[in-house]
Chain A
Amino acid sequence: GAVVSQHPSRVICKSGTSVKIECRSLDFQATTMFWYRQFPKKSLMLMATSNEGSKATYEQGVEKDKFLINHASLTLSTLTVTSAHPEDSSFYICSASLAGDQETQYFGPGTRLLVL
C-alpha cells in the first residue's frame, strides 16, 4: 500500500517552455503533498507543501510564480515549472502523507528534468 506515482519520469525541454509534473497517490487519499528538489549528491530540499483544495505554502526562496503547484484532489498534485531555464534542471520528487502524520511521507519515484 501507500504507492505514489510521478509522471513523467524524465523530461527534456527547451529553455523558455513550461513543464508539468504529476504526482498521484494510487491507493490512499493524501491530505498533504510535498514537492522537493534534489541536486546531485545533495539532500532533498523542500520547495512547497500543498493541502488539497488550498494554496500551496512555499519555502523561503522558492518562487511561487515560477513553480506553480495545484492540488485539486486528494490523489493528484501537479508542479508546473514555468519558462524553464537550464538552472531549473534537477530531480524533482513529490511525496504524500495522511492527515496529521507529515513525518511519514510516501515518495514518488522522482522526475528528472533537463532544460536545454
Chain B
Amino acid sequence: LAKTTQPISMDSYEGQEVNITCSHNNIATNDYITWYQQFPSQGPRFIIQGYKTKVTNEVASLFIPADRKSSTLSLPRVSLSDTAVYYCLVALVSGGYNKLIFGAGTRLAVHP
C-alpha cells in the first residue's frame, strides 16, 4: 500500500528553524509535492509547493532531492503561532493509478 511517512510530532522553541521531512517512495513522476498547515477545527491552509530542488516563499522553504522520494519543509525562526499540524500531500502510484495521499501529519509544538 503506497503511503507517506512523517514524524508524528516535533517540539521546538521560538526563533529556531524547524525541518519536517515526509517520505514518499512511490511518488508519481509528474506531480507536485504540496505542504499544508492545519490549526484545530479549521481547514488546512496551503504553505508551499514544489516539484524538485528548492522552493522558497515568504513563509517556508521546501527541499526536494533529485529522486523526489522525500521532501523537507523548513520553517525559519518559528513562533508560537506556528504550533499546528503539518501535512504533505503527494500523488503516489498505487495499483497502476496515481492517487493523491495526505500524510499522517506532524504535530509541531513551539514553546516560549
Contacts and interface: CB of A to CB of B under 8 A. Distances in A.
A108 B43 contact: yes
Given A44-B87, A104-B49, A109 B104 contact: no
Interface string B71-112: 000000000000000010111000000001011110100000
Given A103-B31, A103-B34, A91 B102 contact: no
Given A91-B41, A103-B31, A107-B44, A46 B100 contact: yes
A95 B43 contact: yes
B87 A43 contact: yes
Contacts of B90: 103
A93 interface: yes
B105 A43 contact: yes
Given A43-B105, A44-B102, A104 B34 contact: yes
A112 interface: yes
Among B32, B43, B90, max chain A CB count under 10 A is at: B43
Interface residues of B, number: 22
Interface string A5-20: 0100000000000000
B104 A106 contact: no
A90 to B, nearest CB: 12
B87 A105 contact: no
Given A44-B87, A103-B32, A109 B100 contact: no
Nearest to B42: A109
Interface in A49-74: none
A69 B45 CA distance: 23
A102 interface: yes
A110 B43 CA distance: 6
B13 interface: no
